[in-house]
Each structure stands twice: as structure tokens, then as C-alpha cells.
Amino acid sequence: MKPLNQRKKLNRRNMLRGTGAVIALPFLESLAASRQLNASESTTNNGTRETPMRMVCIGLEYGLYPIDFFPKRTGRDYELPRLLSPLGGLKNEFTVFSGLDHPGISGGHQATHTFLSGIRSNQAKQYPEGNLTIDQKAAEHVGAQTRYQSLQLGIGGGGVSWSRNGVEIPTIDRLQTVFDALFEETPKSKRTRQAGTYAVNRSILDVVGEDAAAMKKRVSVGDSTKLDEYFTSIREVEKRLEQSAAWWNKPKAKTNFKLPKTPPTSFTEQVALFYDLMKLALQTDSTRVISMAIHGWKGDSGLSGVTKGYHDLSHHGRDETKLNQLGIIEQFHTGQLARFLGSLKETQADDDASLLDRTMVLFGSGLGNASSHSNRELPLLLAGGGFQHGEHKAYPADGGVKTPACNLYLSMLQRFGVESDRFGTSTGTLEGLG
């Protein structure tokens, strides 16, 4: 018979083999929110109070028709093109960028996942932080200051967020799930079960960490690199476990907002309600980082005059009938963005600023032209965040070398408070962005 200490280790390893999903459970449950409506201030090291910065990233899978998105003139004195016309009343609250994309990225729909990172998933190992997306870099900075570091939302398809170890982060695609996570208190019995799960997972992680550390002394250089990647994964799980545990017994925010009794079936209703919930999540400081990926619809579009599918229309081939219908869809998107930004602007974050002033909102796509499957000249718009807006900024190629979109992302991260001089494929911060 084996010694008792060996039997204990064997039992724990058997449990590990059968509970892979348990390790991931806290990560999948990163859906909830946090504080009361007026609890959005944080304390600096010197004891003063400051209102934190927030970040929202909205990605459209099928891009935006370039001719209707990019203004013809640069600077402040530009005319709003068709797709930006819904934002006319907010012209001084956003900046339009042209000439930015991710160097070397191609592949059409297969490369749209690079929207927030600039790096393809199969090339992630070539970069220090892999294909970590801007929202997740910001979320790491937030840490446990909110109940969860970030929310990833998705409508009609996949997401736009990737973790440090190259894993696509699943999205929440049900409105009720988001609402419950933000405002429905978890029953005490479930919190007790969560505490038990936390203890089991910590025990599993301890065993895994000990075995991996011992193994690293006996493996090749190549395998050592693989183990380093594994350690990174384990540390991410540990952080999420600690994040979840820190907020188990803290009450969630309260709201008078209610979802419709009958779940909406149209695309337009769903998109509008997701925007409403995002605003509430920011206002209650439930999270400070949100990404939302918008694909197509599974039921009705809810858009008058649209008779074909979104993806089909995006491959218009300059057919006027298709372009007219695509324009209806894309103008709906910019109209919802305008409603969202207007709502943030009308909401006070502190004595001196609106919620929009304290929230940077990135809107765009990893596709420059869906009809030709081009990932060049990405449609990008940045609103809020305390930047000096009101312009169309163009960045022509310098000697054939284009300005990386990651330069914009680095500027955003620095404004968010992240101390970094590089992100993804950046070559520096974006010039001219005040």
C-alpha cells in the first residue's frame, strides 16, 4: 500500500483530471457588476479622490462602407458623411481617423479578430504580450477595483477580446444574463457553493503549479517555453479566482431599469438594450472596461427596407440595391452609437465632468472593406475620454510605411492610466491626439 502522502497527491491529481471545467468556471462567471450608483470614485496614493477612466470598445464584424464613413476633408472643417450624420449633434465629442490599420494583416473575415490587438492569433508568440487586446490590457490595470475587470458582450456571433495567453474570451449574448449579473443578488447558498469551489480550485492550482515547477528543471528549452505559457495561464486563473472571491459578499448595484417581459426578437431591439445595459454598467461602476462585438441577426433585423442578410449585403459589389440596404444597417449602428454617447454626456460622473468625459469609446472594425475582404484603412472613431475631439485626422503613409492603429491604442491606454510605451505593433503614441 502506498504511503498516505502519496495517496493524497494521487487523489488530488485524479480530481484535477476530471475537473478541467471547474478551473475555468470563475472565468466564465466573470459577468457580474459591483457598486452603487454614486460609488465610482477611487482613492489615489496621496489620499485624494479621483474619478476613474473607463473604456468601451465596439467592433462591427462586417465593417463600414468606406465611401460613406470617411470624411472628404481633414481637420475641423469637415462635412459629416452619410454614416456619421446621426452624430452631428456630438461632432465635438469624437474624432474620426483615416489611414490607420494593422501592418501586414490580411485575410478578410479571418483577420477581423485582430481589431483590438493588431496581431493574428497564430502569430501571437512573436510578441511579448501575445495578441492581448486593448480592452484586456486596460482590464489588467483595473484589477479588483471593480467586481470584475471587464465585460465581453456579443450579438449574433463571436467576440473581439483575447487574453494574454492567446485565448479568445467568450461573450455574453443574452440580455437577461447581463442584467442578472449586474443587479440580481446571488443567493447565499450559491455563494457558499462558490466558496467551496474556490477552495477546491485553489488546491488544484497549487498541485498543478508544484508539478509544473518541478518538471521545468528536467525539460528542454522548447518545452520550458511551453511551461512558461502554462504558468501564464495558471496565473490568469488565479487572478480571476481572487477577483471573484473579493466581491462575493458585497451588494450589487440597484436600478429601476427593467428589461421587457418578453425577450426581444429583433436585432434592433437587442442592440439598443445592450447599449442601455452598457451605460448602466459604467454608471454603477460595475465594470470600467466593456467590449461589444456586433455580427448579424438570427431572427428579424427590425429594419424597414432591409430584406437581405447583413453578411450578404456587406458583399455588395457596388450594387446600388444592396448598398442602399447596407446603408440602412450601418446608419442604424451609428445612430445607436450617437444615442449611447449622448446618454453618457447627459450623465454626471463628478462635479466637473460627464460620464462621456470619463469614458473613451472606440467604434470601428477589423475590416476596412468587407466587399473586397480588405483589412486595410480601418474605419475608426474615438469619442470621449477627455481627448480633444472635433476633427477628422488623416495619417498618410510615410515612405510607404503606414501608421499602426496600435499607436492610437497605446495613446488610449496611457490616458487610461497604464504605464506602458508599447502595445501590439505600435511604434509610439498617435501624433496629434490631444
Q: In the predicted model, is pLDDT for residue 216 greater than 70?
A: no
Q: Residue 394 in contact with residue 99, Cβ under 8 Å?
A: yes
Instruction: Tally DSSP H helices, then E strands, for the chain.
Output: 11, 11
Q: Residue 130 in contact with residue 166, Cβ under 8 Å?
A: yes
Q: What is the mean pLDDT of residues 245-267?
A: 87
pLDDT score at 36? 39
Note the pLDDT tens digit of each residue in 16-37: 333 333 333 333 233 333 333 4
The torsion region of residue 5 among left (phi > 0), alpha (psi -120 to 50) and beta comes to alpha
Q: What is the mean pLDDT of residues 100-125?
A: 95
Note the pLDDT tens digit of each residue in 193-215: 555 554 545 455 455 556 656 66
- Vertex 143: Cα angle to 138 and 146 (nearest 5): 100
pLDDT score at 320? 96
pLDDT score at 352? 87
Contacts of residue 285, Cβ cutoff 8 Å, sequence gap at least 6: 34, 35, 39, 40, 52, 146, 253
pLDDT score at 350? 84
Q: Residue 133 in contact with residue 167, Cβ under 8 Å?
A: no
pLDDT score at 7? 42
Torsion of CA 383, 388, 391, 397, to 10 degrees: -90
pTM score, whole prediction: 0.81
pLDDT score at 147? 86
pLDDT score at 22? 35
pLDDT score at 28? 29
- Vertex 79: Cα angle to 74 and 83 (nearest 5): 105
Grid look-up 418578453 returns: 262
Facing residues of 290 across strands?
Answer: 56, 151
Give residue 22's identity as a one-letter amino acid code: V
pLDDT score at 207? 57
pLDDT score at 228? 63
**Which of 172-186, 231-245, 334-348 holds the top average pLDDT?**
334-348
Nearest residue to 344 (alpha-carbon basis) of 364, 324, 326, 361: 361
Facing residues of 97 across strands?
Answer: 380, 393
pLDDT score at 281? 97
pLDDT score at 148? 79
Note the pLDDT tens digit of each residue in 39-62: 344 443 444 456 799 999 999 999
pLDDT score at 164? 87
In angstroms, the CA 413 to CA 140 distance is 11
pLDDT score at 35? 36
pLDDT score at 32? 34
Q: In the predicted model, is pLDDT for residue 178 greater than 60?
A: yes
Across the chain, mean pLDDT equals 83
Which pLDDT band holds residue 364 (cuts at 50, 70, 90)? very high
Which pLDDT band holds residue 239 (cuts at 50, 70, 90)? low
Q: Which three cell numbers stand for residue 133?
A: 487586446
pLDDT score at 31? 34
- Which has more confidence, 188 or 306? 306
In angstroms, the CA 404 to CA 211 distance is 41
Q: In the predicted model, is pLDDT for residue 268 greater than 70?
A: yes
Note the pLDDT tens digit of each residue in 116-171: 999 999 999 899 999 999 999 999 999 889 987 999 999 998 899 999 888 899 99
In angstroms, the CA 30 to CA 139 distance is 12
Q: Residue 116 in contact with residue 291, Cβ under 8 Å?
A: yes
- For 245-276, letters b (16+ CB in 10 Å) and e give bebeeeebbeeeeeeeeeebeebbbbbbbbbb
φ, ψ (nearest 5 deg) of residue 175: -60, -40
In angstroms, the CA 235 to CA 334 distance is 39
| Burial of 228 (C-beta count, 10 Å sphere; 0-12/13-18/19+) | exposed
Facing residues of 162 across strands?
Answer: 168
pLDDT score at 212? 58
